[in-house]
A = this chain, B = another copy of it.
Amino acid sequence: MEEFELIRRLSPSYYRQSSVVKGIGDDAFVFRSSEDIVFTTDTMVEDVHFSKSTMAPHAVGYRALAANVSDLAAMGSEPAFYSVSLVVPPDWTEEEIVELYDGMDELGRVFGMDLIGGDTVSGKQLVVAITAHGYLQKGKARYRSAARPGDLLFVTGTLGDSRGGLEELLHSSPPFSEYLVQRHRYPEPRAVFASRLQGLNRLCLNDVSDGIASEANEIASASGVTVHVDRELLPISESLRSVYPEKAVEWALSGGEDFELLGTVSEQEKEELLRTAEHMKMRVTFIGTITSSDAPRVLIHSGEKAETLLPTGYTHLQERRSQ
């Protein structure tokens, strides 16, 4: 592959973001912002994080960027830029690489993001290392540590679908559930929703990359609270319930890579959050509450029964009383 030609082909002819001072073409990229800047990075390796047998290059690119955008969303920021470091093995063709970039661009366009740099080098195994920048109002970053006793726990969309889609592709036979496969390959990070909530005084956000069991534990630990989850309230899609009825709840808790948002909001600001969701026609489900705690943990409730929910998704009837 002629790297020079590839860069020319992939470099944007204009920039969507007005904060760009100098785009691709010099030693580095230059930008300017009066807002706070959020920066994140995420790396996907072939045969570790994905496989060509379940993901076309277009979906690989899309999903690699989606993981970054989801992190920007979890900070409450508006996505602005991304850069891509690509290691390309001999068995990937130039066309496949272009498809991979097209997949990123498909998601990038949704958020008005610009590709601002990166490099393409040779190697034994495909590696996609992406970084992304987002903007937010000064002081409005949404931390895991922001949950307070009395808050309500909410989650966007439905949970476990991505895990269900992977199961379809790996261990099932066609016809697959199109919905589940689509949710696995083309998840929709909730960055627009998150950035529209900048008016709220306080909001705790975490994105669902490892499953809500893990994310809820991060909130509990960072905020020093107990997070209560009601098992009956978990939002599970019709498709997941019908195709994998026995696995649906387990995957909703620990499936991961749904790139939904898990968060907490105060009673006072709950209505504003719901109005924003309704305006965007986005599903938001309240699935629990926050209480104060000497021993931060997550409790999952089912009827009268309460169990400790570990980050892995396993539960223990006996509550852990200490860290």
Contacts and interface: CB of A to CB of B under 8 A. Distances in A.
B87 A85 contact: no
Given A22-B141, A83-B131, A127-B127, A30 B36 contact: yes
Interface string A100-120: 000000000000000011110
A207 to B, nearest CB: 6
Interface string A44-56: 1100110000000
Interface stretch (A7-15, A69-77, A229-237): A69-77
Bin the interface of chain A by size: 35 or more
Q: How many copies of this chain does one complex carry?
A: 2
A315 to B, nearest CB: 22
Contacts of A42: 119
A276 B139 CA distance: 38
Contacts of A40: 27-29, 117
A124 B133 CA distance: 29
A2 interface: no
Contacts of A123: 45, 48, 125, 127
A39 interface: yes
A18 to B, nearest CB: 14
Contacts of A136: 30
Given A25-B222, A29-B39, 16 more contacts: A21-B139, A22-B141, A27-B205, A29-B38, A30-B39, A31-B39, A39-B116, A41-B131, A43-B85, A43-B119, A45-B122, A45-B123, A48-B122, A49-B121, A87-B87, A127-B129
